[in-house]
Amino acid sequence: MRRKPFEALVERALRRLPRAFRERIANVAVVVEDWPDDETLADLGIEPPDTLYGLYRGVNLTERDSAYGNVLPDTITIYQGPIEEDAADEEEMAEIVRDTVVHELGHYFGLDDETMEQIEDSDP
């Protein structure tokens, strides 16, 4: 898939977030990159065949205090290559993108991976 249609999947995932969440998102850049670099994977302890669909970098909302300000935006990176490689078709790709965007925004809101897994497991 070319970059523009893939970016449209990311934008659609962001637009479809519940309004209460969309309104609380501030100072966050969502970008698409081809693949995570080797240094990022090594820093996170990810080794093949595992990969990374997305990454949140920044100060989550639960850690911000009155001194927080005049900082560059937090960044959510969505990695197109691994998602395309793992998706069977465009519908599944859109689902992976949506799940990845929601997951990385969970980090922005201060949730850790374990908490998000518990929430996902309890979802009917």
Q: What residue has token string 């465009």?
A: 90
Is 52 a residue whose pLDDT tops 90? Answer: yes
Mean pLDDT to the nearest integer, 56-81 = 92
Q: What is the pLDDT of residues 87-96, one digit of tens each?
A: 999 999 999 9
Is 65 a residue whose pLDDT tops 90? Answer: no
| Non-local CB neighbours of 51 within 8 Å, separated by 6+ positions | 36, 41, 79, 82, 85, 86
Residues facing 28 on adjacent strands = 74
Whole-number pLDDT of residue 119: 66
- The per-residue pLDDT of the chain, averaged, comes to 91
Architecture of domain 3-122: 2-Layer Sandwich (3.30)
Q: pTM to 2 decimals?
A: 0.88
CA dist 1 → 25, 53, 57, 98 (Å): 28, 16, 26, 16
Structure tokens at 89: 């078709």
Please list the alpha-helical segments (H only) found in the chain: 3-15, 19-22, 38-43, 80-86, 90-108, 113-122
Whole-number pLDDT of residue 121: 65
Whole-number pLDDT of residue 64: 87
Mean pLDDT to the nearest integer, 28-57 = 95
Whole-number pLDDT of residue 120: 65
